[in-house]
């Protein structure tokens, strides 16, 4: 005699995406809009202390999100260049291609 057991497969749902307190989640990333004033380098340094980096924007929708939440204040993003002759680069050293 053969015996067969069937069990329904119920994959576990992915864990809930959660950002730290006072951060805003959007499309799998967490954003923190700091009120601390300073230059680009100090902004990146402040992010590093928090285990983060200045934001790298991956498209127009992400740009719209940042513009919507930043309010009237100006904020740094993770895009820079050494001088006018050099290409724009993100904080991960990848070259900027227009949104």
Q: Hey, where are the domains in the chain?
A: 24-90
What pLDDT does 18 receive? 86
50, 60 contact by CB (below 8 A): no
* Average pLDDT rounded to a whole number, residues 25-51: 92
User: How far is 51 from 60, CA to CA, in rounded Å?
Assistant: 25
pLDDT higher than threshold 90 for residue 82: no
Average pLDDT, rounded, for the chain: 84
* Average pLDDT rounded to a whole number, residues 46-70: 91
Burial class (CB in 10 A: 0-12, 13-18, 19+), 55: buried
How far CA 42 is from CA of 7, 22, 72, in Å, comes to: 56, 20, 20
Q: For 20, which DSSP code?
A: P
What pLDDT does 46 receive? 92
Please enumerate in sequence order all residues whose Cβ is within 8 A of that of 33, keeping only pairs 6 or more positions apart, or say none. Answer: 24, 69, 70, 71, 73, 75
* Average pLDDT rounded to a whole number, residues 54-76: 89
pLDDT higher than threshold 50 for residue 1: no
User: Is domain 24-90 classified as CATH 3.40.640.10?
Assistant: no
């Amino acid at each position: 005699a053969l015996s067969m057991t069937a069990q329904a497969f119920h994959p576990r749902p992915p864990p809930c995406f959660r950002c730290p307190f006072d951060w805003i989640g959007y499309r799998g990333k967490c954003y923190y809009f700091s009120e601390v004033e300073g230059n680009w380098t100090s902004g990146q340094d402040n992010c590093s202390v928090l285990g983060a980096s200045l934001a790298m924007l991956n498209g127009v929708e992400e740009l719209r999100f940042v513009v919507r939440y930043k309010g009237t204040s100006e904020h740094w993003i993770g895009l820079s260049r050494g001088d006018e002759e050099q290409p724009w680069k993100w904080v991960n050293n990848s070259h900027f291609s227009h949104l």
